[in-house]
C-alpha cells in the first residue's frame, strides 16, 4: 500500500485520569487508523526525561516531565496511510485553549501543557519514539497491511 506509515501516540495522564481513554481510542479507530500495539504504563522520571530530551533547554521541561509522570499513560502505535499527519490532525494544535472543537485537544485537553495526547511529528521521530517504548514483538502489523 502506498505511503503506509506508523506513528506513536500517547494518551497523557490528564486524559487517562478523566476517563477519556475509551473516547480517544474510539476516535482513532473511527478515523480508520489501526491500533497495532497498545499498553498502559506509569512512566518513570527517567523515561519521561529521555522521551522529551529534545525539549531539555525549554523553560517548561521539568514541569512537563512532572506532568507526564503524574499518573499512568496509554501508549499506542498507529498505522495507516499518512498516519503521522492524520493523527496530528485528530489531535489538534498544541494549546488546548486554541484547538478547535472536534479535535481531541479542543474537546478533552485543558491548556498548553495538559493537552490530552501526544503524536509524532515526522517519520524519523515516529521510528525513534516507537522503538523507545515498544519491542518489535509487541507490535502486530494490521491484517490489512499484510501482503
Q: Catalytic residue numbers?
A: 118
- Told to check if 94 binds ligand GDP by CB under 6 A, we report yes
Segment contacting ligand GDP by CB under 6 A, of 73-81, 109-117, 124-132, 134-142: 109-117
CA dihedral 124, 129, 135, 139 (to 10 degrees): -80
- Told to check if 115 binds ligand GDP by CB under 6 A, we report yes
Cβ atoms of 73 and 13 within 8 Å: the answer is yes
Please, which residues have CB within 8 angstroms of residue 70's CB and are 6 or more apart in sequence? 13
Q: Which of 121, 131, 140, 144 binds ligand GDP (CB under 6 A)?
A: 121
- HSE (side-chain half, CA atoms, 13 Å) at 46: 0
Q: Which of 112, 128, 139, 141 binds ligand GDP (CB under 6 A)?
A: 112
CA angle (19, 133, 32) in 5-degree steps? 60
Q: Could you say which residues in the range 55-74 bind ligand GDP, by CB under 6 A?
A: 60, 63-64
- Told to check if 113 binds ligand GDP by CB under 6 A, we report yes
Binding site for ligand GDP (CB under 6 A): 60, 63-64, 94, 112-113, 115, 118, 121
Amino acid at each position: 500500500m502506498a505511503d503506509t506509515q506508523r506513528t506513536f501516540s500517547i494518551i497523557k495522564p490528564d486524559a487517562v485520569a478523566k476517563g477519556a481513554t475509551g473516547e480517544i481510542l474510539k476516535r482513532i479507530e473511527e478515523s480508520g487508523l489501526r491500533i497495532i500495539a497498545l499498553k498502559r504504563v506509569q512512566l518513570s522520571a527517567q523515561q519521561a526525561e529521555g522521551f522529551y530530551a529534545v525539549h531539555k533547554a525549554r523553560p517548561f521541561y521539568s514541569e512537563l516531565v512532572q506532568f507526564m509522570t503524574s499518573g499512568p499513560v496509554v501508549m499506542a502505535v498507529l498505522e495507516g496511510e499518512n498516519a503521522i499527519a492524520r493523527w496530528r490532525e485528530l489531535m489538534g494544535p498544541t494549546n488546548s485553549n486554541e484547538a478547535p472543537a472536534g479535535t481531541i485537544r479542543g474537546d478533552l485537553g485543558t491548556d498548553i501543557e495538559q493537552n490530552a495526547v501526544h503524536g509524532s511529528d515526522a517519520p524519523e521521530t515516529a521510528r525513534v519514539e516507537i522503538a523507545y517504548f515498544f519491542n518489535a514483538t509487541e507490535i502486530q502489523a494490521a491484517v490489512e497491511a499484510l501482503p
